[in-house]
Amino acid sequence: MIALTLAEVATITGGALGGPVTAADGVTVTSVAIDSRAVVPGGLFVALPGEHVDGHDYLEAAAAAGAAAALVSRDLPQAPLPYLRVTDSAAALADLARDVLSRLRAAGDVVVVGITGSVGKTTTKDLLAELLSPLGGLVAPVASFNNEIGLPLTVLRADHDTRVLVLEMGADAPGNLTFLTSVAPPDIAVELIVGHAHLGGFGSIEGVATAKAELVQGLVPGGLAVLNADDARVLGMARLAENVLTFGRSESAQVRAVDVSTGPDGHAELTLVTAQGRQRVRLALTGDHHVTNALAAAAVALHLGRPLEEVAATLASVGPSSPHRMQVTDTPGGVRVIDDAYNANPTSMRAALAALASMTTTGRRGVAVIGEMLELGPESAREHAEIGRYARELGIAEVVVVGEEAQPALDEVLAGGGSAVYAENVDEARALLTTLLRPGDVVLVKASNGTGLYRLSDALTSPAWPDLVGAE
């Protein structure tokens, strides 16, 4: 982050000075944190009120860690450090990020890349960070910092040495991306896929498409929209942009994958066709669906000047960088675990099940542990049933359905003559798998993050498995 005096922060946020200081000019902040455990000397601690934890209760800890000041939303007569009181600390955090990025753009040449899509955002962000790191001055989000809090925090990590700022932009309701692009208008907007995610917030797939288009509409004048030519709803966003670069498997795509095949190890091979030439690539990521993510990242990297040969080499070497996203582990007991338990929606669930099916073509038995896909609204029962039908059609040998909301998937598998069992929660699923799994099996664990099914993945890949039954 660029250094700012507390007086400058006050001007940006409209904050009123309080605490043990008489003048804000003598205080300088050089970083921002919302967790007192992440505060470093000279930092600005932003106290966010939460449903379970209130940041205002941690000012003592922030001060002890060396915070220079705090941003708060109520008066604190006994505050241990200088503070600025604002009406809304989250909004003030966004205002601060917006201002800092404007200063950086005015002072130098920083390129902002925004990435959205119903699936693949984090993986594409991770790939792009690897592809662009040789350019120097790269800032990208940690984990999935893609909302109204995480994105400003990422922006505020940028400084005068930053040349590329990669931002993941998520949305679960209309207007989310409009807000995020108001904080960080992208020079390059990457649209991956319009899928059946957060239907409870968007209402329909058309609602998802309209909301995702907000990213393209938020481009800086003359900005570039990088669009998936294989998704008609994404490609339709071309009318909203002055400049367009397409990627995909379609013949019309400017960055294209041809001769795609997926082996029994789940890794896709393809020929990358670009204006710079052709290059054969075997992706280090598992699953045919990662072809889309790889093409999107390659398109941006090539546009920003990376050589084709180096782009291909990076795609062939970079595996999962964020936890619980198609991480494949071969356990000492002979079971291969596909941990994709970070999150789930109907689109990503189908992709993961297809990857599981591709990894069982050599006679290995496939076991799918399907948890609840949250935030689907009235479509939840139908979407879960469709996933059960798809698992059965793929020939998945055993399906373990976890959680009441996912039960329609169980009913659909059984109705079609497939083999499926039900577990009410993570502990029951863990107990079932101790007797169900056998050497040679390939097991997929997939659910929305809020279900906690990632704990099952952690157990399955632990050296102590299966002794963790019932443990926390």
What is the structure's pLDDT at 118? 87
- Return phi, psi of residue 396, to 5°: -65, 125
Higher-pLDDT residue of 377, 45: 45
- Give the helix/strand (H/E) hosting 108: none
pLDDT digits (tens, 9 = 90+) for 96-107: 999 999 999 999
pLDDT tier, 108 (very low <50, low <70, confident <90, very high otherwise) = confident
pLDDT digits (tens, 9 = 90+) for 140-179: 998 778 999 999 999 999 999 999 999 999 988 889 999 9
CA distance 46 to 26: 19
What is the structure's pLDDT at 139? 97
What mean pLDDT comes out for the span 298-324? 94
What is the structure's pLDDT at 30? 96
What is the structure's pLDDT at 469? 38
Report whether pLDDT(327) > 60: yes
pLDDT tier, 310 (very low <50, low <70, confident <90, very high otherwise) = very high
What is the structure's pLDDT at 205? 83
Report whether pLDDT(255) > 80: yes
CA distance 118 to 351: 12
Q: Give Cβ neighbours of residue 360 (< 8 Å, ≥ 6 apart).
A: 264, 366, 395, 396, 397, 442
**Which of 326, 391, 400, 395 has its CA nearest to residue 365?**
395
Domain with CATH 3.90.190.20 in the chain: 327-460
Domain with CATH 3.40.1190.10 in the chain: 108-315
Average pLDDT of the chain, as a whole number: 93
pLDDT tier, 200 (very low <50, low <70, confident <90, very high otherwise) = low
Q: Which fold has domain 4-86?
A: 3.40.1390
pLDDT tier, 471 (very low <50, low <70, confident <90, very high otherwise) = very low
Number of alpha helices (DSSP H) and beta strands (DSSP E) in the chain = 16, 22
Q: Which fold has domain 108-315?
A: UDP-N-acetylmuramoyl-L-alanine:D-glutamate ligase (3.40.1190)
What is the structure's pLDDT at 414? 96
pLDDT tier, 199 (very low <50, low <70, confident <90, very high otherwise) = low
What is the structure's pLDDT at 296? 98
Contact at 8 Å (CB) between 15 and 9? yes
pLDDT digits (tens, 9 = 90+) for 379-438: 899 999 999 999 999 999 999 999 999 999 999 999 999 999 999 999 999 999 999 999
What is the structure's pLDDT at 362? 85
Report whether pLDDT(25) > 80: no
**327-460 belongs to CATH 3.40.50.300:** no
Per the DSSP assignment, residues forming a β-bridge with 245 are 226
Neighbours of 378 (CB within 10 A): 10
Report whether pLDDT(247) > 70: yes
Q: Which long-range contacts (CB under 8 A, 24 or more apart) does 204-212 make?
A: 205/233, 207/174, 208/118, 209/233, 209/234, 209/236, 210/174, 211/171, 211/173, 211/174, 211/175, 211/176, 211/177, 212/116, 212/117, 212/118, 212/171, 212/177, 212/237
What is the structure's pLDDT at 198? 57
pLDDT tier, 41 (very low <50, low <70, confident <90, very high otherwise) = very high
Q: Which letter does DSSP use for residue 147 in this model? A: S
What mean pLDDT comes out for the span 271-280? 97
30 burial (CB, 10 Å; 0-12 / 13-18 / 19+) is middle
The gap between the terminal CA atoms of the chain, to the nearest Å, is 39
* Longest CA pairwise span in the chain (Å): 75
Q: The tokens 């204006």 sit on which residue?
A: 275
Report whether pLDDT(440) > 80: yes
Report whether pLDDT(45) > 90: yes
What is the structure's pLDDT at 74? 92
Q: Please report the sign of the dihedral spanned by the C-alpha atoms of residue 369, residue 292, residue 288, residue 386.
A: positive
Contact at 8 Å (CB) between 50 and 63? no
Domain with CATH 3.40.1390.10 in the chain: 4-86
Contact at 8 Å (CB) between 45 and 59? yes
Higher-pLDDT residue of 199, 285: 285
What is the structure's pLDDT at 455? 94
What is the structure's pLDDT at 375? 86
**Which of 455, 402, 411 has its CA nearest to residue 429?**
402
What is the structure's pLDDT at 385? 96
pLDDT tier, 468 (very low <50, low <70, confident <90, very high otherwise) = very low
Please state which of the ranges 129-143, 185-199, 204-218 shows the lowest mean pLDDT.
185-199
Q: Please report the sign of the dihedral spanned by the C-alpha atoms of residue 46, residue 49, residue 53, residue 56.
A: positive
